[in-house]
Amino acid sequence: MESNALPRGDDSRFTLQRDRMLAAAAHCFNQKGYSGTSLKDVARRLNLTDAALYYYVKSKEELVYQCYLRAADVGREAMQRAVEDGADGLDKIRRYLRYHVELMVGDRGPVAIMSEIPALKPRHREHVLDLSRRHSAAFEALLEEGIGDGSIRALDVRMTGNAIMGSINWIPKWHHGDPDVAAQIVAEFPLILSAGLAAPDSRR
């Protein structure tokens, strides 16, 4: 990888480089936490100079904030695609789980675990928490839809949503890029996490 920052005018290359930086930073934050990670760690992982890294972010706090925005974007992308593709509530839930997991353990991964929110500046913290609340509400809405259309059994929407989302969000903590494990996660996690959702009379 080049050791110098890319010209800001080259938007496509700048975006690609920035996304690679955020993936590398997510890996470092997931493994060593906020306090245990330095900008030098991220620069070293990317074979960049410190000066090149500062071209993209000005501080470690800004870097973790950008990592969390990227994680939120990945989840929102999976959710939108599932809503567009799915037939009923249960189908949308299962598609969302598969799409989200595929993004997290595939070429877009890793994404940062949102475990260091207290380290953010107040305005950044509130923004990230708002994005998280919106995403949780969207997932719960799919559960409600499934209960309403008969594809999902009656259940506690809030508790079910917390259990499933918590399981997904923790994947980057223990998955370290092994492609065989990634394939297993994509194949098994959506089935495991949705196994208890189907209504008794559902044919799905």
pLDDT value of position 66: 94
10-residue block means of pLDDT along the chain (204 residues)? 40 82 93 91 89 87 95 96 97 97 92 91 97 97 97 97 95 91 96 94 60
Q: Which domains does the chain have, with CATH numbers?
A: 60-194 (1.10.357.10)
pTM of the complete model: 0.88
Q: What secondary structure does DSSP assign to 161-203, as a single string?
A: HHHHHHHHHTHHHH--S-HHHHHHHHHHHHHHHHTTTB-TT--
pLDDT value of position 201: 75
| Distance (Å, whole) CA 60 – CA 39 | 6
pLDDT value of position 14: 77
pLDDT value of position 9: 46
Q: What secondary structure does DSSP assign to the chain, as a single string?
A: --SSPPPTT-HHHHHHHHHHHHHHHHHHHHHHTTTT--HHHHHHHHT--HHHHTTT-SSHHHHHHHHHHHHHHHHHHHHHHHHHH-SSHHHHHHHHHHHHHHHHHSTT-----S--GGGS-HHHHHHHHHHHHHHHHHHHHHHHHHHHHTSB-S--HHHHHHHHHHHHHTHHHH--S-HHHHHHHHHHHHHHHHTTTB-TT---
Give me the amino acid identity at 161: G
pLDDT value of position 203: 53
